[in-house]
Amino acid sequence: MQSERLSMSPAASDHTNTFATGFAPIAAPDANVLILGSLPSQQSLQKQEYYGNPQNAFWRVMGELFGAGPEVAYTDRALVLQQNGIAVWDVLKSSVRPGSMDAAIDLSTAKPNDFPMFFDRHPDIELVCFNGKKARELYERLVAPQIGGNIGSLEYKSMPSTSPAYAAMSFDEKVRQWSFVRLVAGNHRRS
C-alpha cells in the first residue's frame, strides 16, 4: 500500500498568514438565545466543530446545563442545544489569525457574519451572550454599526470565556455564571 503525503499550502502551514473561515450557525428557526464566540480556533477548524479544543470548557459547561457535554457526539450536542432554544455562532465570518488566540485576530482582515440576515431568520432571539470579552468587542465594533436600531429589544450579556486561556475563574464559577443562559432558554417553547 502506497502512502500519500499531504502537502499544505504556504498559507496553511505558515501561522503568520493563517486565514480562518468560520462555520454556519448551529440554530433552529425558533432559537431565543444566541451564544457568540469570536472565530473558531485552529483545533476547531481542523475538527470542523465549534469549540473543538478539548481544553475549552464550552461543551463541559453545556453538559452541566443542558446535557450536551463532550461525551455526547457533536451532532447530538448541537441538536440538544437547538432543542433548548440555543444558537451558537461567531462574530467573525473570517479573518487572518496566526494561531488561536483572540488577541492575534488581524482586525484589518476581519469580516463579520451576516447578522441582519441571521436576526431576520431567527426573530425569537431575545438574548445574545458573548463567550468572552473579545467576542463582545468585535460585535460592538463590526456588527452593531450594521444593525443599528433595526433589531428589536435584544438583551446583551457578557459571559466568562470558556477558553483555556482564561484560567482565572474556576470551572464551577463559570458554570454558575453561564447558568443564566439556562434561565432564558427555559422560557423556550417548542411549537
State the cell numbers at 103.
488577541
Q: How many CB atoms lie within 10 A of CB 14?
A: 11
Report helix, strand or coil for 144: helix
Catalytic residue at 56? Answer: yes
Q: E strands, 11-154, where?
A: 19-21, 33-37, 86-90, 92-96, 111-112, 127-131
Q: How many CB atoms lie within 10 A of CB 89?
A: 23
Please choose, from the candidates 97, 111, 189, 190, the residue with its C-alpha nearest in 3D space to the C-alpha of residue 143. Answer: 111
Report helix, strand or coil for 96: strand
Question: What is the chain's length?
Answer: 191
Q: Which of 32, 53, 56, 113 is catalytic?
A: 56
Q: E strands, 4-161, where?
A: 19-21, 33-37, 86-90, 92-96, 111-112, 127-131, 155-159
As annotated, the active-site residues are 56
